[in-house]
Structure 1
Amino acid sequence: MLAVAALLGGFALLLAWPVPLALSRALWPSRSPAIALALWQAIGLGGGLAMIGSLLVFGASPAGSLLGAARALLPHLVEGDIPPAFGVIHIAALTLAAGLAAHLALNLALTAVQAERERRRQHQLIAILGDPMPGQPRTRVLAHPIPLAYCVPGIRTATVLTNGLVDVLDEPELRAVIAHERAHLDQLHHLVLLAFRAWHSALPWFPIANRAERSVALLAEMLADDQARRVASDDALRRAMLQVGSGGEPGAYADSGGVIPDAAMLEARLARLGGPGDVDDHPNVANRAMVAWAAALIVAVPIVSLLATLGPIA
């Protein structure tokens, strides 16, 4: 079991720094944002499982299996002596694993509750202050001179525009903006960003968490751009993005948290227009398949390792 614990620990270190750092600096994600987004999710899930799993397996090693450690230790949680095979370092590892898992889970739950509250508040506000946009279901227009567009996810969804935006865009540009915002809603980007925002909030001192959240936010914007490119031309989308600027989509969602598009993100999105991307069915199928297999492997390694050390149920 010590070998498995070392394997999981080394795997967690790889997924905690060099792998996400290389991915955040790579150029290919802009050509295949959907695959890159799946890879980021695999890195987050696999890294968390490997980190917690390495502590669990090491702490349970005196018993020879995870279930064996549970049978040996659980009866002694309230009273009785801890079996002598388990030293202080093993108990510390198990305690740290349980504490880290609880911290991540509670932080995710808290982030989800806060986001849902903000969504409800936004729905109430736009119902009072916004007017329905003719010919565009689930779209509200706010009387505000600054050109803005964002969406409010949830059971009820809404795309929100301002008068300032409607006034400065022509019909193809407006169609591209609406398609972009609806892509965020239809593809459930808010759920993906929620998980990475919770990760960043749970580990604010962890530098890669901020890089991951920012990279995922940019990929979500690129995916929404690809949907807009299917509805309108690249030129119409480019004109709309330049008219609105980096401040015209404040985080895309009402509950988007701290990741707000800036000039660098806008520049990266503009650079894709007219070039290959998911919308053009980029022909490099072999590379896409390889990345997809890598994402599956990243999640499979810690799961299989933990199952291998589970031990006999009976």
Structure 2
Amino acid sequence: MSVAAGLLLYAALVSWWGPHVLTKITTRGINPLLGVTAWLTAIVGVLVAWGAAVIVLALDAADALSSSVIGTMCLEFLGHVGQIDMARPVAATIAITLIATSLALSLVFGLRILRTLRTLRTTSHEHAMAARVVGRPTRWRDVFVVNADQAAAYCVSGRPRAIVVTSAALASLEDDQLAAVLSHEYAHLTGRHHQLLMALRAAAAGLPSLPLLAAGPDAVSRLLEMNADDRAARRHGRHPLLCGMAALVGRPTVPAAALGAANNAVLDRAARLAAPATAGVRWRDRVTLGTAIGLTVAVPLFTGVLCHH
């Protein structure tokens, strides 16, 4: 088996089985940032493996096309260790078709990803600007109050960015609860969570048939919410944050590009805050996630060394 075949097999297995494994080991969000790293490592690993396999196949095809040996074409990428005789015109046709198909598919997927990413960025920036125009500025940096009958708080990235708090939320939240909710939103903005999710959503739109990419945005979004919870709870305490989340659960739907304190997996996050994991459980989770990340990186490298010829 050649390097290309090993990379394709790795990418296929991680693409289809990876979501099941990653969901199982990250769903509790014990170490949310490490969980995000596990998902991103798998996603980047699959994309790099697919791209590397295509490049290797294209180079093999180009080598066959330019080879001075008439009537042969190496098919080692299919596991065949010898050579299959064929007329040079047939070999040239196969080589050109392989190269053209690979380039065309890469171009189509790449353009689709870039188009989706541009749309998401534009939508987010427009919403942030609209919030600044319509909302009332506050004493908090980048926070604007918008008149609405339902309590809501969320943030959107942009140039400049904005945290939107409805008038109903401002009236219903105590000072410490509001401070915890705003800290949660600031954690999203300073952590550049929006940009990360935009990239994942664009990749999922570009390659929707891959289960790993399809599951990635929701799973990572959930973990990023938990990470923002942890940062807010460390600064303001778990109780104010829990009360603030409870007050915002019934708010209206926020824009797809927004991230909010009560936007995703609220019950799981509330249970997690109310009963945090013990130190022993956190360490076991770190070992599990670290092992998964290590294997995700090591397997394709080992495949390249083992199958190198």
Structure 2 length-normalised TM: 0.79
Secondary structure of the structure 2 residue equivalent to 1:204: coil
> 2:119 matched to which residue of 1?
114
Shift in CA distance, 307/90, structure 1 to aligned 2, threshold 3 Å: farther
Equivalent residue for 1:102, pick from 98, 104, 107: 107
**Residue type of the partner of 2:49?**
A
TM-score (norm 1): 0.78
Asked if the contact 1:16–1:208 (Cα under 8 Å) also holds between the matched residues in 2, the reply is yes
Superposition RMSD in Å = 3.3
Pair 1:171–1:253, CA change in 2 (3 A): farther
Q: Does residue 42 of structure 1 match 2:41?
A: yes
| Number of the residue aligned with 1:131 | 136
- After alignment, is 101-110 or 45-54 more displaced? 101-110
Match of 1:250 in 2: 254
Give me the whole-angstrom Cα distance separating, in 1, the residues matched to 2:110 and 2:269: 33
Deviates more, 1:236-245 or 1:179-188: 236-245
Q: Is the Cα–Cα contact under 8 Å of residues 153 and 164 in structure 2 kept in the other structure?
A: yes
Q: Which residue of 2 is the match for residue 75 of structure 1?
A: none
Give the partner amino acid of 1:271. A
Corresponding residue of 2:175: 171
CA contact (8 A) 1:276 1:282 kept: no
Q: Structure 2: which 5+ residue stretches go unaligned?
A: 68-86
How many Å separate the matches in 2 of 1:261 and 1:138? 20
Compute the displacement of 1:276 (Å).
3.3
Identity of aligned residues (%): 26
1:287-302 alignment, distance < 5 Å = 288=286, 291-292=289-290, 294-295=292-293, 298-299=296-297, 302=300
Q: SS in structure 2 opposite 1:9?
A: helix
- 8 Å contact 1:246–1:261 — kept in the other structure? no
Give 1 or 2 for the bigger CA radius of gyration: 2
Number of aligned pairs? 288
CA distance in 1, matches of 2:97, 2:280: 50
- What's 1:77 paired with? none
**Distance of 1:89 and 1:246 partners within structure 2:** 59
Tell me which residue corresponds to 2:11: 12
Correspondence list, 1:1-314, <5 A: 2-26=1-25, 30-61=29-60, 68=63, 86=91, 90-134=95-139, 136-245=140-249, 247=251, 250=254, 253-254=257-258, 261=263, 265-276=265-276, 284-285=282-283, 288=286, 291-292=289-290, 294-295=292-293, 298-299=296-297, 302=300
Distance 1:149 1:294, change over 3 A: same
- The offset of 1:149, in angstroms, is 1.1
